[in-house]
Chain A
Amino acid sequence: MAESLFWALVAAFLLGCLAVAAASLDGALGARGRGAGNLAGGWSAPLAETARLMRQRRRTLVAADVLLWRTGGAALLVAALLKVAVVPVDGWALADLAVGLVWFNAMDVTVWAAVWLTGWGANSAHALIGGYRFLAQGLAYELPLMFALTAPAVAAGSLRLAEVEAAQRGGAWFVLWMPVAFAVYCLGVVAFSVWGPLSVAAGVDLAGGVLAELSGVDRLLVLAGRYALLATGAAFAVPMFLGGADGPLLPGWAWFALKTLLLLAVLVALKRRLPVLRPDRFVEVGWLVLLPAVLLQVLVVSVVAVWRY
């Protein structure tokens, strides 16, 4: 009991490190984009931002649903922690559930509630519209994401992540023969982290959307939750698509860390490079392009799996 608690804290700490790394990289990329000579300021941006938000007062709004508002804000971080519990590092996970993959997806759906509640609780038009935008976006990305997660499970014949990882050991990584599923998965990660091209819920045009009324610690929790979700998405992709701890020379955990950081860096860099996908148009793509494409991918994987055994 005490031991698993210890490892849970370690996992939370590592997730925190990843989130800070993502935020630092984002700060540095922002500083570079501005043409600032001082990149050090960019790297340390999350530190300064945290200090600022710790010093800032929380807001109390008229007729706000304070309980749900704050629950929603904190739930993002909780969802990220619960997701990371099933991710195996070199075959060992905090909670090696037999249905780890389904667990991940279930936690993803709680993000829907968390983002929407953050928008709802503030009793502000902009925040509420932001929350609903996230749901509209969810309609577009969630089903393709679910089917994208199905592909590695079918190939490995298991919903247990350690077995999905083991199925790739010494063989072809799943990303190589299920690129469509991997791409759709990454899109899903970006979407549930309210990030980059899929960040309409926190859009500039809504004065920050779900973030519009948040300040102080409340804002800090939501921002940290977003980075943590992005980091979890990157970490989860490693056993799912990128061969887990598989790799030459270095020990398994090092490969895991390396792959996670690389994917995380790519996801972070995506932020400013693309225009935002407006939900009304993205839904069309989700259902007419992504969903059929990923279904075809699952079909191909299934045929291969049947032919193999």
Chain B
Amino acid sequence: MGVRQWLTTLSLRQVHVLVVEVPGWWSTRVAAQQQLSARGWPEASSPADADVLLVCGHPGARFDAAVEQVWDQLPGPRARERAETPSDVADALDRAAAVLADTDRQRRDAQDRDRPDDESDQHSTDADAHEDSDGDSGANSHEMSDMDHGDMGDMGDMGDMDMSGMDHGDMDMAPGGIPLAGGGDDRDGLEMDVLQVPLGPVLPCWPAGLVLRCSLQGDVVVAAEVEVLTAGSTAPAPDLSPRAEAARLCDQARQVLELSGWGTAAQQAARVRDDLLTGADAAACRARLGRLRATVERSRLLRWSLRDLGRASTTHGAAVGLPVPVGDVHDRLLSFLRSAGDLLDERLDEKADHHPADQLKVSARWTGTDPVELPDLVTGLDLAAVRLVVASVAPDTATADTSATAEVDGG
């Protein structure tokens, strides 16, 4: 018993938390990340890596179903919590830790999961292959893994996805409940498998609530369809002060840096963001942001790595009448940091009393890309590039039209 207790105590020092952001609850998610960083708890990279599933905000029905699926994929011991406001976060994490520490409860949870649940399991023939009860956990991809299984009626809308060159006829051939990859011509006109892989909505460094259903050949996206899973209630009004805007830009830069694998710079960006939000001294924030910008600008390795990725032309932006940011991923990363700096220079010291007109001006300066633009931007790129491009165009899912969906066929 002593050893088990000891293991439990030790393991609670490194609780891995999978943070799920619902569109509109940005500040709660950031508060969660601050809390994690302060406690020395890592953020989980995937459900398999997570002990705690923390939902920030109030998800809508479809989003909730997705969260439920992710929950099924946590290996256990596991805990699930929800935090609405930033101040809820600390308590939610404490509660989660208590649940994790409760060995008896975790054992009961594990036994309940092992019991086969025939009603929800449509593929009872392969029940030997999994420990989870719902028949498709962990399969294929961990985020909303059944969104792409045409045979799951509840959420999959495969039937009306019209993608050229894809063979839906073999949907029935689904070993383990996962349809086989179809065939299709690749970029060089050779036949290659096409696999349906949804990205999001639960994925680190990914816009809240965004689901990008990709058709992959190898790791190249040949077609994509976008959907935004919305919140279940109206989100709290975002803080439009220049400080908060700057913090949001820093967070966006952090995501790009994180995805490009540059941990130190991403941490620096997170610290600038947190300083801005916690109301640290303006001059200190500005200095820290300046250092970060200099570091990023100086890195030739980063420039070489991000060069020409997801280059969007001005003509393209003009043609569709949407604010598609120009340049490549590197340009956009720098523009996040530059704009954040501009915001700080102008308004930081008078944040208490700014006019509504100023607010408008500031928030009009940077609005993220409309998610419907995404399929156009990511088609033809490999998965790594897709992640970077999506982070660099900062799709605005919080204000997006709830019915926004779009699709593009690869040619």
Residues of A that sit less than 8 Å from B by CB: 31, 33-36, 38, 41-42, 44-45, 47-49, 51-52, 54-64, 122-126, 129, 132-133, 197, 199-200, 203-208, 211-216, 219, 271-278, 280-281
A66 to chain B, nearest CB (A): 9
The reply to whether B11 and A275 contact each other, CB–CB distance below 8 Å, is no
B107 to chain A, nearest CB (A): 11
Contact of A275 among B16, B110, B260 (CB under 8 A): B260
Binary A-proximity of B6-26 (CB < 8 A = 1, otherwise 0): 111011011110000000000
Q: A31 vs B36: C-alpha distance in the bound complex, in angstroms? A: 12
Enumerate chain B residues within 8 angstroms of A122, measured Cβ to Cβ. 138
The reply to whether A213 and B46 contact each other, CB–CB distance below 8 Å, is yes
Cβ-based interface call for B195 (8 A): yes
Task: Please report which residues of chain B, range 111-166, place their CB below 8 angstroms from some CB of chain A when the two chains form the complex.
Answer: 126, 129-132, 135-143
The reply to whether A205 and B383 contact each other, CB–CB distance below 8 Å, is yes
Given contacts A204-B259, A208-B45, A211-B49, contact A216 B383 (CB under 8 A): no
A13 to chain B, nearest CB (A): 21
Q: Give A205's nearest chain B residue, CB to CB.
A: B387
The reply to whether B14 and A52 contact each other, CB–CB distance below 8 Å, is yes
A144 to chain B, nearest CB (A): 18
Contact of B8 among A55, A61, A277, A278 (CB under 8 A): A55
Q: Give A216's nearest chain B residue, CB to CB.
A: B75
The reply to whether B40 and A62 contact each other, CB–CB distance below 8 Å, is no
Q: A51 vs B16: C-alpha distance in the bound complex, in angstroms? A: 13
Cβ-based interface call for B182 (8 A): no
| Number of chain B residues whose Cβ lies closer than 8 Å to a Cβ of chain A | 69
The reply to whether A57 and B48 contact each other, CB–CB distance below 8 Å, is no
Contact of B129 among A54, A62, A129, A216 (CB under 8 A): A62
The reply to whether B305 and A129 contact each other, CB–CB distance below 8 Å, is no
Enumerate chain A residues within 8 angstroms of B143, measured Cβ to Cβ. 207
Binary A-proximity of B366-408 (CB < 8 A = 1, otherwise 0): 0000000000000000111001100000000000000000000
Enumerate chain B residues within 8 angstroms of A129, measured Cβ to Cβ. 219, 383
Cβ-based interface call for B276 (8 A): no
Q: Give B296's nearest chain A residue, CB to CB.
A: A275
The reply to whether A45 and B14 contact each other, CB–CB distance below 8 Å, is yes
| 16 other A-B residue contacts (CB within 8 Å) besides A34-B37, A62-B126 | A35-B37, A35-B271, A42-B40, A48-B10, A52-B51, A63-B129, A123-B139, A123-B178, A124-B139, A124-B142, A125-B197, A208-B45, A274-B301, A275-B302, A277-B305, A280-B382
A19 to chain B, nearest CB (A): 17
A68 to chain B, nearest CB (A): 15
Q: Give A275's nearest chain B residue, CB to CB.
A: B262
Given contacts A212-B48, A277-B305, contact A59 B138 (CB under 8 A): yes
Contact of B45 among A56, A124, A212, A274 (CB under 8 A): A212
Given contacts A34-B37, A55-B11, contact A61 B139 (CB under 8 A): yes
The reply to whether A203 and B261 contact each other, CB–CB distance below 8 Å, is yes
Task: Please report which residues of chain B, range 277-336, place their CB below 8 angstroms from some CB of chain A when the two chains form the complex.
Answer: 299, 301-302, 304-305
Task: Please report which residues of chain B, range 238-297, place their CB below 8 angstroms from some CB of chain A when the two chains form the complex.
Answer: 257-265, 267, 271
Cβ-based interface call for B205 (8 A): yes
Contact of A207 among B51, B77, B142, B301 (CB under 8 A): B142
Enumerate chain B residues within 8 angstroms of A271, measured Cβ to Cβ. 263
B383 to chain A, nearest CB (A): 6
The reply to whether B126 and A219 contact each other, CB–CB distance below 8 Å, is no
The reply to whether A47 and B131 contact each other, CB–CB distance below 8 Å, is no
Enumerate chain B residues within 8 angstroms of A47, measured Cβ to Cβ. 10
Enumerate chain B residues within 8 angstroms of A63, measured Cβ to Cβ. 126, 129, 139, 175-176, 178
Q: A35 vs B288: C-alpha distance in the bound complex, in angstroms? A: 13
Enumerate chain A residues within 8 angstroms of B110, measured Cβ to Cβ. 57
Contact of B37 among A36, A123, A133 (CB under 8 A): A36
The reply to whether B10 and A275 contact each other, CB–CB distance below 8 Å, is no
The reply to whether B139 and A197 contact each other, CB–CB distance below 8 Å, is no
Enumerate chain B residues within 8 angstroms of A51, measured Cβ to Cβ. 6-8, 10-11, 14
Q: Give B9's nearest chain A residue, CB to CB.
A: A51
Q: Give A277's nearest chain B residue, CB to CB.
A: B305
Given contacts A61-B139, A207-B203, contact A278 B384 (CB under 8 A): yes
Given contacts A52-B11, A52-B14, contact A59 B178 (CB under 8 A): no
Enumerate chain B residues within 8 angstroms of A61, measured Cβ to Cβ. 129-130, 137-139
The reply to whether B263 and A272 contact each other, CB–CB distance below 8 Å, is yes
Q: A273 vs B11: C-alpha distance in the bound complex, in angstroms? A: 28
- Chain A CB count within 10 A is highest, among B110, B302, B383, for B383
The reply to whether A48 and B178 contact each other, CB–CB distance below 8 Å, is no
A274 to chain B, nearest CB (A): 6
Binary A-proximity of B85-104 (CB < 8 A = 1, otherwise 0): 00000000000000000000
Enumerate chain A residues within 8 angstroms of B176, measured Cβ to Cβ. 62-63
The reply to whether B177 and A62 contact each other, CB–CB distance below 8 Å, is yes
Enumerate chain B residues within 8 angstroms of A49, measured Cβ to Cβ. 14
Given contacts A33-B267, A52-B14, A275-B305, contact A207 B46 (CB under 8 A): yes
Enumerate chain A residues within 8 angstroms of B261, measured Cβ to Cβ. 197, 199-200, 203-205, 274-276
A284 to chain B, nearest CB (A): 10
Q: Give A36's nearest chain B residue, CB to CB.
A: B40
The reply to whether B48 and A215 contact each other, CB–CB distance below 8 Å, is yes
Cβ-based interface call for B216 (8 A): yes
Enumerate chain B residues within 8 angstroms of A132, measured Cβ to Cβ. 218-219
The reply to whether A214 and B48 contact each other, CB–CB distance below 8 Å, is yes
Q: A204 vs B137: C-alpha distance in the bound complex, in angstroms? A: 21
Q: A199 vs B257: C-alpha distance in the bound complex, in angstroms? A: 15
Enumerate chain B residues within 8 angstroms of A52, measured Cβ to Cβ. 10-11, 14-16, 51
Q: A122 vs B14: C-alpha distance in the bound complex, in angstroms? A: 25
